[in-house]
Amino acid sequence: MFEALPTAWLAPILLSLAAIATVAAMSRTLPLQNVIMAALTVAVVSIAISIVSVEIGLSPLGYLPDFGFRLFRLVPWTSPLLSVVIILNSRNLARLILRPWRNRPNPGIRAILLASLLASALDFLLETFATQTVPLWSWQTPFVSFITAMLALVLAAPWLINKKLAIR
């Protein structure tokens, strides 16, 4: 009666659910429209940097066909979702780690730097898994992922600031 989903769709479905869960979790502390704009900013920056790095030969990135259809014939449609999940969850973890020091000067800069390092570390581990265990793509240079995370966090930062006034 019911046909089983092909296994090729399992990873994109789980990645889509992870992106939805990330946005939903962030909307508990920030307005939903800000979280959606931050996620869109991260996705657009991720696509742009991936396309530019592939086009100029900075990163020898090659995706296998199991990762989904391509945007602009270069980047799979699930790649921006993966960036949204990694970068926004790294930002939340950086805020949690830096909570005791939030009253010091420049807490936002520290959070962006720590979130970029966390996103790059997770991306480095994920790329090791995705290139050797489950071949989804070929190797990407680590500094490209750090630049992607840093630029995406800097551009998304205005959307991720809680602008509600604290009532005391």
Give 9's pLDDT tier (boundaries 50, 70, 90).
confident
Is residue 85 within 8 Å of residue 23, measured between CB atoms? no
**Is 81 within a domain?**
yes
**Is 41 within a domain?**
yes
User: Can you list the alpha helix ranges (DSSP code H) found in 8-77?
Assistant: 10-26, 32-55
Q: For residue range 103-155, list pLDDT tens digits in order.
A: 887 777 888 888 888 888 887 787 777 777 766 666 555 566 667 777 777 77
**Is 98 within a domain?**
yes
**Is 2 within a domain?**
no
Q: For residue range 25-41, list pLDDT tens digits in order.
A: 999 988 899 899 999 99
**Is 38 within a domain?**
yes
Domain interval for residue 137: 27-160
**Is 1 within a domain?**
no
Residue 59's closest CA among 158, 160, 138, 157? 138
**Is 92 within a domain?**
yes
Report the domain count for the chain. 1
Task: Please tell me the pTM assigned to this model.
Answer: 0.79
